Structure 1
Amino acid sequence: MHVTQLRIYPVKSFAGLDVVSAEVLPWGLAGDRRWGVVDVNGVPVTARERNSMLGLTAEPLVDGGLLLSDGGGGPLRIDVPTDASPIDVGHSRQGTALAAGDEADEWLSARLGAPVRLVWQPDPRARSVNPNHGGLPGEVLTLADAGPLLLTSEASLARLDAWTDDATPPLDMRRFRPNVVIDGDEPFAEERWSHIDLGGLRFRVASHCDRCVMTTIDPDTLARGKEPIRTLAKHRRRDGKTWFGVRLVPTTQGTIGVGDVALAS
């Protein structure tokens, strides 16, 4: 097996960015989901509620800041708000985050059609991985939902495509928002692993990933459909949920890259 794709999501629920290599930290890939969007009450806002978030991009800058873009002009540079006062946020086990400021809030609110705020997580070590999603004591993560990294398999996607009806075009892996994509094993073999080594770095398989309606949003048109949930419900349903991909927790640190050998156990 080998790594065929690496992706980071600098702002939670924004479009992702392909990278050829990434630094692995205890809480996930460097530059991944340290920023998020909340409403005026601090409740997290995601593409589940606002499809248009998937049409926005955020490019990480060398100083830790972001360059926000909507693809149509008017990009906005955002600095890391290290001196901002904490505000309450509703991300589980997070408590507070730092507000990016009025300029960022106005830019986002105009594009999402609702008053929202951009926030930054100052220290991922303060947020634990939920034990209900396989977290062990001392394991930490960013503003990601349930695990530091998500791994998906090209073989599993090919099997899912084979299950869909002939009128459905092949599904784009971007729908599943992985950090790591691998190829070279049987479909859904990843659900039998306990660990995987990527480029010599070890990761623990913490849990399988249950899928939500965000996967039904086309990453290009932003239109909602019935796939892949409809087909997953026929072939990959258990405990009242549908499943695709696995969540990983790093046990070592370093750098991984596209093309790295993947060894599962």
Structure 2
Amino acid sequence: MKSAQGEDLEVADVEPGGLRGDRTWACLDDLDGTVGSAKHPRRWGRLLDVGTNLRDDADEPELMVRVAGRDVRAGTAEADTVLSSYLGRPVRLSRELPSEAKLHRQLPDEAGMVPEWMHDARPGQETVTATGNAQLDGRFVDFGAIHIVTTGALSLLGQQLGRTAVAAGRFRPNLVIDAAHDPEPGQELHMGDVVLRVMVPTPRCVVPALGHGQLPADRLLLGVLARHHRVSVPGLGRAACFGIYAEVVRPGRLRLGEPVR
């Protein structure tokens, strides 16, 4: 579910559009039809504390949502009522991506966090933008099917912040790979019978600096990303990036500890 907490999995099936069940649900605002995203913290930041559990033992995965200690099933009136009360606005959970879907976004206050392709935007500005790549099986994705971070990049970021480590969960990746550095665009990653192809670095928004479950807010993080991780995104321009997006070349099953070639 978009912007909700994820799950730590030991086994995951990879489909052409991404991990099975990943970002197939989202909150839609009943007032203006926009997609709920923690990219606008004041409106949707509480989504980051909503838990999820994908029950994948049937032909169609069933999503259970935990809201303030209460478990409800996505797609029911009960889930919509509970989420609306929790978020303080009328919402409904949906698997249907609206045509020309849009979301509210608040840009970070750091100038280096504003991507070059947002030509008229300024730090701290509130805006409404398209959700991103709506072609991946109708999922509520920003761009790539798979989002990856590496342990080497996390270690470097920790050094830049003056810390021993940075939690991967801040960046909400699908996969964490034990590697000294990020692979380059165009490289293929072979993991068992799964093959992924690296596309572009992942532009970052305000979300990594927000509190995530047990992780507190991190006011220093975005400044470091803006200073040390502003790179060129092919075909778009410069942006503060961390992690990479990848597309699925060959679907299959992934297991924790799978060697990566």
Whether TM exceeds 0.5 here: the answer is yes
Q: Is 2:254 the counterpart of 1:256?
A: yes
Q: Is 2:31 the counterpart of 1:33?
A: no
Q: What's 1:57 paired with?
A: 51
Once the two structures are superposed, the pairs formed by residues 41-52 of structure 1 within 5 Å of their partners are 41-49=32-40, 50-52=44-46
Q: What's 1:197 paired with?
A: 190
- Which of the numbers 57, 65, 69 marks the counterpart of 1:73? 69
Aligned 8 A contact 2:24 2:138 in 1: no
Q: What's 1:84 paired with?
A: none
Once the two structures are superposed, the pairs formed by residues 76-155 of structure 1 within 5 Å of their partners are 76-78=72-74, 100-121=75-96, 142-155=139-152
Q: 1:55 is matched by which residue type in structure 2?
A: D
Q: 1:112 to 1:22 in 2, by over 3 A?
A: same
Q: 1:39 to 1:234 in 2, by over 3 A?
A: same
Q: What's 1:91 paired with?
A: none
Give the superposition deviation at 1:192: 5.2
* SS of alignment partner, residue 250 of structure 2: coil
Q: 2:248 is matched by which residue type in structure 1?
A: P
Aligned 8 A contact 1:216 1:229 in 2: yes
Q: 2:251 is matched by which residue type in structure 1?
A: Q
Cα offsets for 1:2-50 (capped at 9, x unmatched): xxxxxxxxx1110010100111111111121110111112201112222
| TM-score (structure 2 length as normaliser) | 0.75
Q: What's 2:178 paired with?
A: 183
Give the superposition deviation at 1:73: 2.8
Question: Which whole-Å CA distance do the structure 1 matches of 2:96 and 2:215 have between them?
Answer: 27
Give the superposition deviation at 1:104: 2.0
Aligned 8 A contact 1:55 1:222 in 2: no
Of all paired residues, the percent bearing the same amino acid is 28
> Paired residues, what number?
216
* SS of alignment partner, residue 75 of structure 1: strand
Name structure 2 gaps, 5 residues minimum.
Answer: 102-116, 118-131, 232-236
Give the superposition deviation at 1:77: 2.3
Question: Which whole-Å CA distance do the structure 1 matches of 2:214 and 2:45 have between them?
Answer: 10
Give the superposition deviation at 1:223: 5.1
Q: Is 2:176 the counterpart of 1:165?
A: no
Q: 2:85 is matched by which residue type in structure 1?
A: A
Give the superposition deviation at 1:102: 3.0
**Considering only aligned residues, what root-mean-square deviation do their CA atoms show, in Å?**
2.6
Q: Is 2:228 the counterpart of 1:235?
A: yes
Once the two structures are superposed, the pairs formed by residues 220-231 of structure 1 within 5 Å of their partners are 220=213, 224-231=217-224
Q: 1:177 to 1:141 in 2, by over 3 A?
A: farther
Q: 1:258 is matched by which residue type in structure 2?
A: L
Question: Which whole-Å CA distance do the structure 2 matches of 1:31 and 1:139 have between them?
Answer: 12
Aligned 8 A contact 1:141 1:147 in 2: no
Give the superposition deviation at 1:196: 1.1
Give the superposition deviation at 1:187: 2.8
Give the superposition deviation at 1:140: 5.1
Aligned 8 A contact 2:185 2:198 in 1: no
Q: 1:145 to 1:139 in 2, by over 3 A?
A: closer
Question: Which whole-Å CA distance do the structure 1 matches of 2:173 and 2:152 have between them?
Answer: 14
Give the superposition deviation at 1:75: 1.4
